[in-house]
Amino acid sequence: MSGGAEAEFRGRVHTAVLAWYAVAGRDLPWRHPDCSPWGVYVSEIMAQQTPIARILAPWQSWMGRWPTPADLAAASRGDVLRAWGRLGYPRRAVNLHAAAKAMVEHHAGQVPEDPAALRALPGVGDYTVAAVASFAFGNPLPVLDTNVRRVLARIAIGEAQAAPTPTRGERDLAAAWLPDDCADANRWNVASMELGALVCTARTPQCATCPVRDLCRWRTAGHPAYAGVRKRPQGYAGTDREVRGRILALVRDDDAPHPRADFDPCADQARVDKLLIALIADGLLEHSRDGYHLPR
């Protein structure tokens, strides 16, 4: 397809997806025009490896308690971990706390707008930089999460899914697919993400209700199966991550320090000892004469 024809194709897809999103996009508080950059930032950190449906109530509670970076920076790490609750990957809470302190110390208590400054914050990668830049500041860097990668793989290339990890080619493709208009580009970032989350899903895509069903190259090709390298599924039951979670749950749900013996049911003794050392090193636990407790 020639360059002009490809540009016309992208334009038709943009028009259809943006119109669909205007009607079908979820009404999430961090998408409201009056949401602060801090609110957007918190939502993006919470949504790392966690479904949107699980973060809505914690985000609302978090923003009610710590509406600015300075409010969070003044809290203890223990309070932050308790508030994080069962969102999983609690190191994200530690990183969020550290990022709030960095914002207070180096950015006048604000989320930095500069992408390089964003990238320097703890726990921030390429996706979070692009998402915060686009959704908080209207700077449309190409946002490339799992959903967007799948949408572009299917619509633009005609493949069932993207490679296990993002490639340079994918990043170039995402940049090429940003609309020229700044406002449209920001809307495309969130609309394509929403399309992947609600319609163009990994296992059961709802092709019959897709706004670009007549344009999708994967559908036109007859939904060919993915033939590339597959990512090995990661289990949870019985893993160190599960045991770490059980240890933290015991400590988080009780303000009193826990003696070492309280963790014996979690796993064998040597394994628990190894994980306790790792949790302390990660800043998620502290140990005193009275036992193990959240950081104070």
Dump pLDDT digits (tens) for 94-125.
999 999 999 999 999 999 999 999 999 999 99
Distance from C-alpha of 44 to C-alpha of 50, rounded to nearest angstrom: 10
Distance from C-alpha of 91 to C-alpha of 143, rounded to nearest angstrom: 23
Q: How far is CA 170 from the centre of its chain?
A: 18
**Residue 25 is which amino acid?**
G
152-209 pLDDT tens trace? 999 999 999 998 889 999 999 999 999 999 999 999 999 999 999 999 999 999 999 9
Catalytic pick among 44, 159, 170, 194: 44
Q: What is the pTM of this model?
A: 0.92
13-71 pLDDT tens trace? 999 999 999 999 999 999 999 999 999 999 999 999 899 999 999 999 999 999 999 99
Per the CB < 8 A criterion, the answer to whether 242 and 207 are in contact is no
Catalytic-residue membership of 242: no
Pinpoint the alpha helices (H) of 66-153: 69-73, 77-84, 91-106, 115-119, 126-137, 146-152
What local confidence, expressed as pLDDT, does residue 86 receive? 87
pLDDT over 70 (residue 243):
yes
What local confidence, expressed as pLDDT, does residue 146 receive? 94
Q: pLDDT-derived band of residue 2, with 50, 70 and 90 as boundaries?
A: low
- Beta-carbon contacts of residue 82 (< 8 Å; ≥ 6 apart): 252, 294
